[in-house]
Structures are given as C-alpha cells and as structure tokens.
Amino acid sequence: MCRHLGWLGRPRTLAELVLEPPSSLLVQSWAPRRQRYGTVNADGWGVGFFTPGRPGPARWRSARPLWGDASFASVAPVVSSGCVLAAVRSASAGMPVEESATAPFTDGRWLLSHNGRVDRAVLPPVRGGESTVDSALLAALVFARGLDALGDTVCEVAAADPAARLNLLAADGTRLLATTWGDTLSALVTADGIALASEPWDDDPRWTDVPDRHLVEATPDGLTTTPLT
Ligand code: GLN
C-alpha cells in the first residue's frame, strides 16, 4: 500500500476518516503530499474495521481506484467504528493488481497494511498468504511470528533485504501498531483518539512526524514510540 491510516478512539464514520478530510486517503489516491515512491494510488483500496460484539474485523477491499467507487461513498457515511485501518494502493512493479493483493490483510484477528516493498525471495516460507504480492507474504510472516514480535520481524526482514521498505500498520480493535522503515508516517493524538497515517489528512498543527526506523504503539492510554535497532 502506498498510503495507509489507522484510527483508535471514539467511533467515527468511514467517511469522516477516509473521504472527507481535505487531504483524505481519497485525495491521497491521486494527490499524495508526502509519498516518496509512486505518484498515484489507483491500484485498489481497502478498509477494515472492528465493531462491538463481532469477533474479528470486517473488510471491504477493491482493486479499483477509490475515487471511482460510488457504492463505498454512499455507505461510508453510515458505518462507524472505533478502530479502523484503511489503505490506497500503488502496486509495486511486477506485483498483481487484484482484490486479494490489496490491504488490509488479515489473519482473522489483526488487520495489516504494508507501505513499501520487499524481495519475496528473502522471506521465509509461511502458509496463509492471501496473494502472491510481497505485502501479503510479509503479512503472513508477521501474523505467524505474532504482532508482539513486529519490531523483531521488521529488523530480521530488513537485514535479509537491505533495500526493503517496511512501513507496516496493524490493528486488532484495541490497539494500533506501526513501523517506519523507509517511508513517512505521522501521528495525531486528540481527546477523541489517536490517528496514525502515512501523511497528515489535514493541516492540524498537532500532527507529528514519526522518525524513520521506529515502532509505534497506540492504545487507549496513549502513544509510545521506540527505536528499531
Ligand atoms: N509492494 C506493495 C504492493 O505492491 C506495496 C506498494 C506500495 O507501498 N506502494 O502492493
């Protein structure tokens, strides 16, 4: 994925999070402000979210550009969640463009998005990849290792492929986890909740930039950022 966002806090509609801000993911799908690799994110989009009383996330993904999806635009204002992960995709060279290659990926409990690329040949073989895209194989590895080992997994993969870019974002309904490794990530902490996003969706001065090669955890208690070494 080339631009992603996570929200943990008071329930918000998918439209409030993904469509309505002045530099929303929708706008980022054709005019990202901080993207270092690729220019538009037109190879698909996905939203996953958690709702009370339902174990595991619900997902809605598509291989088409977000800007052309009138059905999502119609439904998004009436779907609310307190834990959301969304992404728009710019497929890396040689990667399939199909719904199953589009984030968020899931193991039934966690949602995960990858902004970056990795040489698939260096990834240890694991079962359960949703697609042959590098991000899906990386997601399967992260799920297999467990999200508590996310930082270690990123460092291990980066050691095996020094050219890898590994900005990951994950959510399980109670917390968000993210890594920065080669691309941008910003955080917004408000009285309503915490947002993590590849780039700010508006010009609120409270957005802060997460330094490269860091692990970020957002819980209802706040945000922690630790270096990845
Ligand atoms: N490598 C991933 C893909 O092809 C992610 C691409 C990206 O972050 N732009 O989907």
The domain spans of the chain are 3-227
Is the CB–ligand 1 distance for residue 117 below 6 Å?
Answer: yes
Strand partners, 4: 87
Q: For strand 176-180 and strand 214-219, is the pairing parallel, antiparallel, or unpaired? A: antiparallel
CATH topology of domain 3-227: Glutamine Phosphoribosylpyrophosphate, subunit 1, domain 1 (3.60.20)
Which atom of ligand 1 is nearest the CA belonging to 167? 8
Q: Which residues, at least 6 apart from 178, have a Cβ–Cβ distance to it below 8 Å?
A: 6, 167, 168, 169, 170, 185, 196, 210, 215, 216, 217, 218
For 31-82, what is each residue's pLDDT tens digit? Answer: 988 988 888 999 999 999 999 999 999 999 999 999 999 999 999 999 999 9
Strand partners, 199: none
Is the CB–ligand 1 distance for residue 91 below 6 Å?
Answer: yes
**198, 164, 194: which is closest to 182 by C-alpha?**
164
Is the CB–ligand 1 distance for residue 12 below 6 Å?
Answer: no
Q: What is the largest CA-CA distance in the chain?
A: 44
> Which residues are known catalytic residues?
2
Nearest CA to ligand 1 atom 5: 1
Nearest CA to ligand 1 atom 1: 117
For 40, phi then psi, to 5°, come to -125, 160
Fill in the amino acid letter for 82: G
What is the average pLDDT value for the chain, to the nearest integer?
96
The Cα 50–Cα 117 span in angstroms is 27
Q: What percent of the chain has pLDDT over 70?
A: 100
ipTM: 0.96
Q: The whole model's pTM is what?
A: 0.97
Is the CB–ligand 1 distance for residue 114 below 6 Å?
Answer: yes
For 117-174, what is each residue's pLDDT tens digit? Answer: 999 999 999 999 999 999 999 999 999 999 999 999 999 999 999 999 999 999 999 9
**pLDDT-based confidence at residue 1 (cuts at 50, 70, 90):** very low
